[in-house]
């Protein structure tokens, strides 16, 4: 008589070994072993592969062969091929829900939707449809539908809402039936009560299935009426009371109150900083355990898996993920999203980002990629285009290559509006990748081909399903849906020759290796937190017999107990947990790690919550990230520049300021011409905003008719008109909204400044020069610093009634700036030794300061050299708060300050001439190279040897830091498919 028998296996040997022994026990050694009349149910597809492989190896070792059994996992039991032919696909089910929501009178569902949306947009409809499908899937695991929950006593407090849901589901089911389709969950419920077994099956083995859906228990009990069923669980006989007859751990025997103690010591638990640190620690453990036997790796956190894979790649080790990698890790998704944004919005930002994708750049650049990127960056920086049409309006003759690329982008956008979705996608893929040579040996090429094919198939299915179900979808909505579904696909990778398999948590029960390293053992992953469904709180899940927090905890407590006991006497188990995620979120060690004897609990808590602040603080990981920057930047040295007789190299005050901030960053910015590029820029930078102000005052200085004007309104009107004309010339009269707001702010500041300007003029001051150039080729008496000609542009020079001159610099920062504080930073005794002596200034009463800027003192010295007499300096502050608009003069900028500034400038110029660009300043207020350094100390990213060698190459006369000098290197970051480099470097 068929029946169901439960067998428990002790932890003295791996589950896989015991499964092989069970299935081969009847083999006598004569002929091949025939298991074709047996059906084996295992938890996953990977465990199925492992079992088949282990059976083949076992029989091969006995000089025999095996006729493999049928090996299924629970999903295959509940959904056979004949059922799949009848079932609606995911896309058909989703669009059926969309159509149901479009057809149904939602106003009648007052308990489900107390307030219906004013318009049923496709984003709202697809989001609601996905919620319905997710709810059906969750309930379907227990064999339930919406009507069953509504009839349940457990839904008494929310029955009205479940009745509304049941009405909707009934309408959805009728819609599918009308199209000769069936619900997947309905078919699973039917199959659970009527198992369909392969012909000739006489026995079923269920091995190591610790996490099957509740509906599988129904299937198993009905299957036991057809043939013998043996359920094998990995646990000793003494623990028999802790398992269902179907082999799953009982929650009461494995919950937090149960007396479960893990055979783990603190030495086996590793608390490290972040995913990078986990990957490095895991690599170290693997290397250390290698001599002791085979070592396997498990990963509970997908983020950690990425870092581990990259860390192993650095060690020339190939890792394999049985479940496949997330498609979002491939640059193709980035490319596809940008194309979607381009054709739907026709904005500049996705166009500029697409140019940074190699395949697109090659297509649009006509062989001149660097020129096209340079042109696009310069155009965007100068004109801030918002849309493609906006850019076209401002693009004139000097942007030839960019205009051609822009025309191609507009053509693609126009084509999308007229053609079916699948045709548009096919045209795009052929245009970008049609001429590319693909290699079957390259994983990236295989992934690209798979994603492109999947996208085409998804788009075609969306169009077919929409037509079948009469769903009216706009083309942009269909495109967005296709990409969202493409993101859910996985990239398979042929196993080939691999060094390590990165297994998921549920796969580890089948791992026979004596040594096991598991990453990501944090509470967020193990036992994890079941995301609360808006209709299914954890309490209701529990009452309905669905997987809930309690069953999840019981499952993982059992699995961890099994993993530890199996290796307690032979092998080693190491568990790693991080303190921070890659995004900087604090993480907690798993509760399961505290399952120890009470007398050990205090030590365990102290171990898992270390008090070493240096190790726990965010951003102070002592590990170099595996993904972001695994190499050291070796900067190319620059040969000395030959200086012709009589030539005076120039150096600007801005360069001197840059050198004072950080010598290395000076070298990167001024010698190597490296600068950041923001492809998504849509508003004025602080410098560009300030240029509007400077331009307006330059126009006022040049307007002879207003030179003596003291009328505040006339001055204000003139300044504002000048700023508006400048903005229109750069960004067209149809200003982008962010620029319009910024221009309004500038106009407010100019009107406030006009009052100060009128008062200043009323005191007898007159403007002599606006944006006065000093140190140019026509300067008869340039100011010299260590052989350099000081070069710069003074914002304004005024003359007072007594002949005194005033040098002003316009400041448009958020708050008013004191000129003395902007140039001199007070030094504490602790910081004094950190500042070189040449950069110090000793003020009154012996107070020490550090020169951080030399602008105003050097301008004063240069003007004094050419024009004798008293010179005062200050800032014309135009801050955000117009009430703080003021002339801030530096009254204490006397001869001692000027002399100190001269000495500091000469020392900096000498060091620049000697090409001394080390050591760097680790902390700067505004760092354009923050992404280049990746948040790490500069010494870990830049090789100092090349920088220090520059000093050896210095010429006898100054040759470095010359204004307008062409850079001698061209450095670019490598960009994988879809990656957008954020640093742009001008070509040599």
What is the distance, to the nearest Å, from the Cα of residue 839 to the centroid of all Cα atoms in its chain? 40
Measure Cα distances from 400 to 341, 366, 381, 677 in Å: 24, 12, 17, 21
- What are the φ and ψ backbone dihedral angles of 767, each rounded to 5 degrees? -80, 125
pLDDT-derived band of residue 617, with 50, 70 and 90 as boundaries? Answer: very low
The full length of the chain comes to: 988
**3-class DSSP state of 200:** coil
pLDDT-derived band of residue 970, with 50, 70 and 90 as boundaries? Answer: very low
Beta bridge partners of 674: 985
Distance (Å, whole) CA 961 – CA 350: 36
Greater model confidence, 964 or 633: 633
pLDDT-derived band of residue 645, with 50, 70 and 90 as boundaries? Answer: low
How high is the pLDDT of residue 442?
81
**pLDDT score of 883 more than 50:** yes
Q: What is the pLDDT of residues 420-479, one digit of tens each?
A: 999 999 999 999 988 888 887 788 888 899 999 999 999 999 999 999 999 989 999 999
pLDDT-derived band of residue 319, with 50, 70 and 90 as boundaries? Answer: confident
Site of tokens 């003020």: 843
Task: Work out whether the CA dihedral 384, 388, 391, 395 comes out positive or negative.
Answer: positive
Greater model confidence, 328 or 72: 72
How high is the pLDDT of residue 950?
56
Distance (Å, whole) CA 575 – CA 776: 67
Cis geometry, peptide bond prior to residue 527 (ω within 30 degrees of 0): yes
How high is the pLDDT of residue 320?
72
Q: What is the pLDDT of residues 183-206, one digit of tens each?
A: 999 999 999 999 999 999 999 999
How high is the pLDDT of residue 791?
93
Alpha helices in 319-468 (DSSP H): 331-345, 348-354, 358-365, 369-383, 388-394, 400-418, 421-433, 443-468
CB contact set of 252 (below 8 Å; sequence gap of 6+): 258
Distance (Å, whole) CA 652 – CA 962: 9
Measure Cα distances from 216 to 51, 143, 451, 547, 563 in Å: 21, 9, 33, 13, 25
pLDDT-derived band of residue 245, with 50, 70 and 90 as boundaries? Answer: confident
Distance (Å, whole) CA 711 – CA 709: 6
Q: Name which of 154-158, 420-424, 696-700, 897-901 the model is least confident about.
A: 154-158
To the nearest whole percent, how much of the chain has pLDDT over 70?
91
Q: Which helix (H) or strand (E) holds 39?
A: strand 38-41
Beta bridge partners of 766: 799
**Considering the entire predicted model, what is its pTM?**
0.78
- Reference 112, options 148, 152, 150, 153; nearest CA is 150
**pLDDT score of 397 more than 80:** no
Residue 226 has what DSSP assignment? T
pLDDT average, residue stretch 584-604 = 92
pLDDT-derived band of residue 496, with 50, 70 and 90 as boundaries? Answer: low
Q: Which helix (H) or strand (E) holds 256?
A: none
What is the distance, to the nearest Å, from the Cα of residue 11 to the centroid of all Cα atoms in its chain? 42
Tokens (6 digits) for 846: 């012996």
CB contact set of 879 (below 8 Å; sequence gap of 6+): 749, 811, 812, 813, 814, 815, 816, 885
pLDDT-derived band of residue 619, with 50, 70 and 90 as boundaries? Answer: very low
How high is the pLDDT of residue 499?
67
pLDDT-derived band of residue 946, with 50, 70 and 90 as boundaries? Answer: low
pLDDT-derived band of residue 116, with 50, 70 and 90 as boundaries? Answer: confident
Residue 395 has what DSSP assignment? -
Q: What is the pLDDT of residues 813-824, one digit of tens each?
A: 999 999 999 999
- What are the φ and ψ backbone dihedral angles of 904, each rounded to 5 degrees? -65, -45
How high is the pLDDT of residue 733?
82
What is the distance, to the nearest Å, from the Cα of residue 289 to the centroid of all Cα atoms in its chain? 33
Rounded (10°) CA dihedral 688, 693, 695, 696? 150
Distance (Å, whole) CA 593 – CA 265: 10
Beta bridge partners of 500: 319
Alpha helices in 609-652 (DSSP H): 613-616
CB atoms within 10 A of CB 477: 21
Mean residue pLDDT across the chain: 87
Tokens (6 digits) for 370: 């660097």
Q: What is the pLDDT of residues 722-740, one digit of tens each?
A: 999 999 988 888 888 889 9
- Cβ-in-10-Å burial (0-12, 13-18, 19+) of 520 comes to buried
- Reference 978, options 211, 360, 295, 236; nearest CA is 360
- Reference 900, options 955, 835, 830, 849; nearest CA is 849
Contact (CB, 8 A) for 39 and 198: yes
pLDDT-derived band of residue 834, with 50, 70 and 90 as boundaries? Answer: confident
**pLDDT score of 635 more than 60:** yes
How high is the pLDDT of residue 633?
74
Q: What is the pLDDT of residues 368-387, one digit of tens each?
A: 888 899 899 889 888 888 88
Distance (Å, whole) CA 857 – CA 863: 10
Tokens (6 digits) for 583: 């995004």
How high is the pLDDT of residue 626?
40
pLDDT-derived band of residue 324, with 50, 70 and 90 as boundaries? Answer: confident
Radius of gyration of the chain (CA): 36
pLDDT average, residue stretch 231-260 = 91
Contact (CB, 8 A) for 155 and 536: no
Q: Which helix (H) or strand (E) holds 572?
A: strand 572-578
pLDDT-derived band of residue 246, with 50, 70 and 90 as boundaries? Answer: confident
**pLDDT score of 102 more than 50:** yes
Beta strands in 107-207, from DSSP E residues, in sequence order: 203-207
pLDDT average, residue stretch 742-749 = 96
- Cβ-in-10-Å burial (0-12, 13-18, 19+) of 268 comes to middle
pLDDT-derived band of residue 646, with 50, 70 and 90 as boundaries? Answer: low
Q: Strands 784-785 and 848-851: what pairing? A: unpaired
How high is the pLDDT of residue 640?
56
Distance (Å, whole) CA 937 – CA 946: 17
- Reference 49, options 26, 31, 33, 73; nearest CA is 73
Rounded (10°) CA dihedral 523, 528, 532, 536? -140
Site of tokens 């012996």: 846
How high is the pLDDT of residue 612?
58
State the SS3 of 830-877. Answer: HHHCCCCHHHEEECHHHCEEEECCCHHHHHHHHHHHHCCCCEEEEEEE
pLDDT-derived band of residue 709, with 50, 70 and 90 as boundaries? Answer: very high
Q: What is the pLDDT of residues 892-908, one digit of tens each?
A: 999 999 999 999 999 99
pLDDT average, residue stretch 490-510 = 80
pLDDT-derived band of residue 984, with 50, 70 and 90 as boundaries? Answer: very low
Site of tokens 């059994």: 69
Helices 443-468 & 331-345 angle (0-180, nearest 10): 40
Strand order in the sheet with 824-826: 824-826, 848-851, 840-842
Distance (Å, whole) CA 319 – CA 305: 10
Distance (Å, whole) CA 859 – CA 796: 11
Strand order in the sheet with 269-272: 269-272, 572-578, 515-519, 295-299, 500-503, 319-320
């Amino acid at each position: 008589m068929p029946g169901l028998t439960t067998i428990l296996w002790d932890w003295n040997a791996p589950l896989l070994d015991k499964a092989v022994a069970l299935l081969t026990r009847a083999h006598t050694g004569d002929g091949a072993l025939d298991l074709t009349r047996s059906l084996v149910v295992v938890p996953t597809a990977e465990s199925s592969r492992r079992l088949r492989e282990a059976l083949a190896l076992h029989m091969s070792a006995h000089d025999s062969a095996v006729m493999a059994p049928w090996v299924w996992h629970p999903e295959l039991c509940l959904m056979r091929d004949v059922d799949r032919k009848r079932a609606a696909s995911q896309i058909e089910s989703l669009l059926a829900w969309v159509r149901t929501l479009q057809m149904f009178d939602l106003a009648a569902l007052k308990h489900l939707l107390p307030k219906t949306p004013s318009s049923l947009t496709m984003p709202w409809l697809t989001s609601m449809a996905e919620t319905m499908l997710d709810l059906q899937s969750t309930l379907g695991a227990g064999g339930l539908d919406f009507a069953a929950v509504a009839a349940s006593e457990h839904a008494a407090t929310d029955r009205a809402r479940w009745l509304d849901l049941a009405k909707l589901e009934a309408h959805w089911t009728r819609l599918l039936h009308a199209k000769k389709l069936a619900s997947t969950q309905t078919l699973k419920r039917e199959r659970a009560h009527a198992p369909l077994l392969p012909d000739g099956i006489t026995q079923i083995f269920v091995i190591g299935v610790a996490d099957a859906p509740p509906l599988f228990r129904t299937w198993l009990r009905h299957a036991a009426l057809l043939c013998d069923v043996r359920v094998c669980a990995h646990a000793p006989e003494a623990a028999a009371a802790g398992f269902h007859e179907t082999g799953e751990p009982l929650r009461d025997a494995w919950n937090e109150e149960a007396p479960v103690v893990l055979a783990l010591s603190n030495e086996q638990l590793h608390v490290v900083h972040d995913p990078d640190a986990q990957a490095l620690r895991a690599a170290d453990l693997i290397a250390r355990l290698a001599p002791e036997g085979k070592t396997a790796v498990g990963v509970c956190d997908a983020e950690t898996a990425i870092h581990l894979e990259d860390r192993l790649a650095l060690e020339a080790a190939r890792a394999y993920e049985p479940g496949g990698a997330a498609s979002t890790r491939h640059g193709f998704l980035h490319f596809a999203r940008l194309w979607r944004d381009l054709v739907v919005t026709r904005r500049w930002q996705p166009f500029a980002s697409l140019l940074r994708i190699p395949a697109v750049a090659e297509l649009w650049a006509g062989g001149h990629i660097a020129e096209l990127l340079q042109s696009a960056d310069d155009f965007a920086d100068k004109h801030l285009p918002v849309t493609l049409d906006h850019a076209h309006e401002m693009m004139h003759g000097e942007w030839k290559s960019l205009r051609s690329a822009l025309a191609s982008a507009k053509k693609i956008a126009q084509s999308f509006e007229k053609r079916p979705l699948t045709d548009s996608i096919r045209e795009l893929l052929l245009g970008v990748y049609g001429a590319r040579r693909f290699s079957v040996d390259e994983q990236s090429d295989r992934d690209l081909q798979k994603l492109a094919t999947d996208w085409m198939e998804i788009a075609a299915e969306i169009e077919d399903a929409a037509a079948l179900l009469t769903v009216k979808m706009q083309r942009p909505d269909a495109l967005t849906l296709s990409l969202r579904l493409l993101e859910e696909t996985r990239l398979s990778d042929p196993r080939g020759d691999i060094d390590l398999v990165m297994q998921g948590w549920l796969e580890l029960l089948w791992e026979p290796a004596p040594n096991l390293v598991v990453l990501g053992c944090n509470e967020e992953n193990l036992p994890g937190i079941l995301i609360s469904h808006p209709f299914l709180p954890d309490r209701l899940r529990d009452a309905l017999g669905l997987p809930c927090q309690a069953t999840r905890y019981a499952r993982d407590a059992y699995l961890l107990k099994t993993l530890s006991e199996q290796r307690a006497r032979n092998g080693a188990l190491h568990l790693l947990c991080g303190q921070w995620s890659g995004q900087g979120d604090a993480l907690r060690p798993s509760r399961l790690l505290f399952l120890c004897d009470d007398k050990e609990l205090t030590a365990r808590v102290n171990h898992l919550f270390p008090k070493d602040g240096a190790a726990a603080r965010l951003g102070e990981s002592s590990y170099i990230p595996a993904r972001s920057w695994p190499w050291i930047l070796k900067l190319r040295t620059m040969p000395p520049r030959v200086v012709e007789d009589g030539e005076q190299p120039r150096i600007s005050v801005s360069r001197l300021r840059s050198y004072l901030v950080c010598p290395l960053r000076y070298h990167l910015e001024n010698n190597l011409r490296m600068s950041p590029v923001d492809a998504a820029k849509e508003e004025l930078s602080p410098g560009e905003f300030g240029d509007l102000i400077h331009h307006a005052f330059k126009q006022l200085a040049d307007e002879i008719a207003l030179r003596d004007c003291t009328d505040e309104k006339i001055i204000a009107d003139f300044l504002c008109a000048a700023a508006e004309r400048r903005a229109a010339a750069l960004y067209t009269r149809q200003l982008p909204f962010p620029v319009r707001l910024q221009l309004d702010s500038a106009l407010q500041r100019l009107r406030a400044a006009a009052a100060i300007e009128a008062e200043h003029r009323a005191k007898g001051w007159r403007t002599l020069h606006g944006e006065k150039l000093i140190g140019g080729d026509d300067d008869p008496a340039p100011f010299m610093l260590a052989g350099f000609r000081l070069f710069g542009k003074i914002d304004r020079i005024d003359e007072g009634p007594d002949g005194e001159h005033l040098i002003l610099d316009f400041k448009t920062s958020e708050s008013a700036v004191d000129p003395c504080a902007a140039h001199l930073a007070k030094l504490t005794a602790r910081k004094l030794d950190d500042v070189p002596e040449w950069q110090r200034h000793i003020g009154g009463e012996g107070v020490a300061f550090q020169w951080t800027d030399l602008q105003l003192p050097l301008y004063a010295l240069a003007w004094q050299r050419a024009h004798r007499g008293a010179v005062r300096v200050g800032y014309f502050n135009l801050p955000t708060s117009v009430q703080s608009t003021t002339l801030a003069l530096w009254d204490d900028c006397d001869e001692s300050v000027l002399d100190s500034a001269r000495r500091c400038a000469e020392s900096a110029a000498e060091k620049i001439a000697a090409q001394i660009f080390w050591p760097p300043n680790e902390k700067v207020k505004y760092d354009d190279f923050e992404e280049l350094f990746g948040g790490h100390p500069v010494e870990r990213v830049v090789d100092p040897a090349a920088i220090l060698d520059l000093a050896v190459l210095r010429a006898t006369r100054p040759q470095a830091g010359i204004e307008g000098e062409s850079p001698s290197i061209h450095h670019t970051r490598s960009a994988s498919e879809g990656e957008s480099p954020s640093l742009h470097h001008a070509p040599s």
